[in-house]
C-alpha cells in the first residue's frame, strides 16, 4: 500500500499579514508550510525543503514572482508554482501560465480559490510523478531486455565455441602434418620437379584450410561482439550461410543431414544482421536438441505471399512439440528440455528480436514427426 504524501508548501509574500493568514489556513488543512518574505529567501527555502508546491506573490522587492517561477522551473521543474496577482493583472498571470505555472489566484485570496488552485497543483504533481515512474519502468524494461538478449547470445556462443574448436582443430592438424612433411622433403636437398608440384598442391591446400579457419573465427568474433543494434541491407542467403558456417560441425557431430534451399530473386533483407543471425542459430540449436539420435534439417528462404517480407524456415524431423506446450514456448524461462540443456531464453529472445524488426516468428509442429519455425523478416522495398 503506497504511503500517504506529506504535502509541503513554500509561501512567498512580502506582506506579513498575508503570510500569517494563508499559512495558518494551510496548516489547518494538513499542509506543512514554510514562509518567506522575499524571493531570494523563498528560493533558498525551496532548495532546502524541496516542496511539491510553491505559492508566490508577483510584486515583491528584489526577485519578483515571475523570476522565482523561472528559476524554479529551471532548477526544480517538478515543483508546481501558484502565482498570486493583484486584480486586473491578467497579462502577468498569462505570462506566468506560459512559464508553466500550475495556476494563478488573485488578491485578496479567497478560501475557495486557494484550495481549488491547490487541488489542481496536487493533481498535476501526482500525474507528473506517475509519468516519471512509468518512464523509469519502461527504461528498466529496455535495459532488462538488452541484458536478456546478451545473456542468450553468450549461451549460444558457448555452445558454438565448443563446436568451432573441434572444427578448427581438424584442418589445423592437417596443415601441421603437411608443413612437417614439406620440411622433411626440404631437408633432403633440392626439390625435384615432382616434389615441386607436390609442394604447390600442398601449399594450395594449406591456404584453403587456413582461409576456412579464418572465416570461421571471424564469423564467431562477429557474432560474439556486443554492438548497438543497427539496420543494414543483406541477402537471406548470406544470413543462412553464415549461420551454417558456425553450426555445420555441430550438425555433423549430431548426425544431422543438412539441406539448404533459397528461391532465386529474393529481395534483400533489412535489419540487424547480428541479431537475426542469433535468431537463426537459436532455431538450429533447438532443432539439434530435438533430434538426439540424428535426423534431417532443412533451412529455406522464400518470398512471403504478402509483399514486404521474406520467409526463413528451419524444419527438423525431431520429436516435435506437444499441443499443451505450443502456446508457452515463447515465454521467458519456459523450457521442455532436461536440466542442463537450456533455461528457456532462446525462443523468447527470438520472439523479442522479431518484434523489434516488425516481423514475427511462427511455429508448426507435429508430435513425433518434427517442427518448422518460420521467421518473417522485412525486406527492402523496391523503388
Based on the domain organization, do 235 and 370 belong to the same domain?
A: yes
Based on the domain organization, do 26 and 83 belong to the same domain?
A: yes
Domain contains 3 = no
Based on the domain organization, do 287 and 379 belong to the same domain?
A: yes
Is the per-residue pLDDT at 341 higher than 50?
Answer: no
Based on the domain organization, do 375 and 241 belong to the same domain?
A: yes
Strand partners, 364: 372
**pTM score of the predicted model:** 0.48
pLDDT value of position 139: 65
Q: What share of the chain is helix, strand, coil (3-state, %, to 5)?
A: 55, 20, 30
131: Cβ–Cβ under 8 A, 6 or more apart, which residues?
Answer: none
Q: What is the pLDDT of residues 280-301, one digit of tens each?
A: 988 998 898 889 899 999 999 9
Secondary structure E strands in the chain = 8-12, 32-36, 53-57, 80-86, 103-107, 232-234, 256-262, 269-271, 295-303, 309-316, 360-366, 370-378
Based on the domain organization, do 236 and 380 belong to the same domain?
A: yes
Q: What is the pLDDT of residues 27-85, one digit of tens each?
A: 999 999 999 999 999 999 999 999 999 999 988 888 988 999 999 999 999 899 999 88
Based on the domain organization, do 270 and 369 belong to the same domain?
A: yes
Domain contains 284 = yes
pLDDT value of position 136: 74
DSSP 162: H
Based on the domain organization, do 154 and 71 belong to the same domain?
A: no
Q: Which of 262, 265, 374, 370 is nearest to 313 (CA)?
A: 374
Q: What is the pLDDT of residues 194-247, one digit of tens each?
A: 777 777 777 877 777 777 677 666 656 655 555 556 788 999 999 999 888 878
Q: Is the dihedral of CA 239, 157, 278, 290 positive or negative?
A: positive
Q: Could you say which of 176, 195, 226 is where a domain stops? A: 226
Which class for 64: exposed (0-12), middle (13-18), buried (19 or more C-beta within 10 A)? middle
The SS3 assignment for 347 reads: helix
CATH number at residue 377: 3.30.565.10
Based on the domain organization, do 291 and 237 belong to the same domain?
A: yes
Q: Are 282 and 346 in contact (CB under 8 A)?
A: yes
Based on the domain organization, do 263 and 360 belong to the same domain?
A: yes
Q: Could you say which of 226, 260, 295 is where a domain stops? A: 226
Cell of 75: 532548477
Q: Which of 383, 381, 380, 382 is nearest to 231 (CA)?
A: 380
Q: What is the pLDDT of residues 95-130, one digit of tens each?
A: 888 888 888 888 888 888 899 999 989 998 988 888
> Residue 207: which domain range?
143-226
Based on the domain organization, do 64 and 153 belong to the same domain?
A: no
Q: Which of 229, 329, 337, 327 is nearest to 278 (CA)?
A: 229
Based on the domain organization, do 210 and 234 belong to the same domain?
A: no
DSSP 382: P
**In the 3-class helix/strand/coil scheme, how is 320-338 assigned residue by residue?**
CCCCCCHHHCCCCCCCCCC
Amino acid at each position: 500500500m503506497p504511503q500517504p504524501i506529506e504535502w509541503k508548501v513554500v509561501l512567498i509574500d512580502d506582506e506579513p499579514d498575508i503570510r500569517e493568514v494563508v499559512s495558518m489556513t494551510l496548516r489547518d488543512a494538513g499542509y506543512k508550510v514554510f514562509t518567506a518574505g522575499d524571493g531570494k529567501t523563498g528560493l533558498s527555502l525551496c532548495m532546502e525543503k524541496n516542496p511539491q508546491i510553491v505559492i508566490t506573490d508577483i510584486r515583491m522587492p528584489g526577485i519578483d514572482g515571475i523570476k522565482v517561477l523561472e528559476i524554479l522551473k529551471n532548477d526544480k521543474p517538478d515543483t508546481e508554482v501558484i502565482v498570486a496577482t493583484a486584480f486586473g493583472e491578467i497579462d502577468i498571470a498569462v505570462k506566468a501560465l506560459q512559464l508553466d505555472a500550475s495556476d494563478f489566484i488573485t488578491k485578496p485570496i479567497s478560501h475557495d480559490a486557494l484550495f481549488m488552485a491547490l487541488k489542481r497543483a496536487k493533481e498535476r504533481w501526482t500525474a507528473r510523478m506517475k509519468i516519471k515512474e512509468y518512464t523509469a519502468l519502461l527504461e528498466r524494461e529496455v535495459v532488462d531486455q538488452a541484458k536478456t538478449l546478451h545473456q542468450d547470445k553468450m549461451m549460444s556462443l558457448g555452445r558454438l565455441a565448443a563446436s568451432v574448436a573441434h572444427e578448427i582443430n581438424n584442418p589445423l592438424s592437417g596443415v601441421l602434418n603437411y608443413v612437417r612433411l614439406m620440411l622433411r622433403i626440404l631437408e633432403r636437398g633440392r626439390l625435384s620437379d615432382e616434389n615441386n608440384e607436390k609442394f604447390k598442391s600442398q601449399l594450395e591446400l594449406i591456404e584453403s584450410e587456413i582461409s576456412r579457419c579464418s572465416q570461421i573465427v571471424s564469423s564467431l568474433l562477429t557474432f560474439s561482439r556486443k554492438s548497438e543494434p543497427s539496420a543494414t541491407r543483406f541477402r537471406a542467403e548470406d544470413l543462412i550461410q553464415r549461420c551454417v558456417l558456425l553450426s555445420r560441425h555441430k550438425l555433423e557431430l549430431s548426425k544431422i543431414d543438412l539441406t539448404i534451399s533459397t528461391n532465386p530473386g529474393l529481395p534483400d533483407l533489412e535489419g540487424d544482421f547480428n541479431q537475426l543471425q542469433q535468431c537463426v542459430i537459436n532455431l538450429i540449436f533447438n532443432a539439434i536438441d530435438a533430434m538426439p539420435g540424428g535426423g534431417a534439417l532443412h533451412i529455406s528462404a522464400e518470398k512471403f505471399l504478402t509483399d514486404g517480407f521474406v520467409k526463413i524456415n528451419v524444419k527438423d524431423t525431431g520429436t516435435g512439440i506437444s499441443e499443451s506446450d505450443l502456446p508457452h514456448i515463447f515465454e521467458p524461462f519456459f523450457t521442455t528440455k532436461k536440466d542442463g540443456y537450456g533455461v528457456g531464453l532462446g525462443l523468447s529472445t527470438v520472439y523479442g528480436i522479431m518484434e523489434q524488426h516488425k516481423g514475427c516468428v511462427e511455429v508448426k509442429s507435429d508430435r513425433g514427426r518434427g517442427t518448422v519455425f518460420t521467421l518473417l523478416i522485412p525486406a527492402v522495398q523496391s523503388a
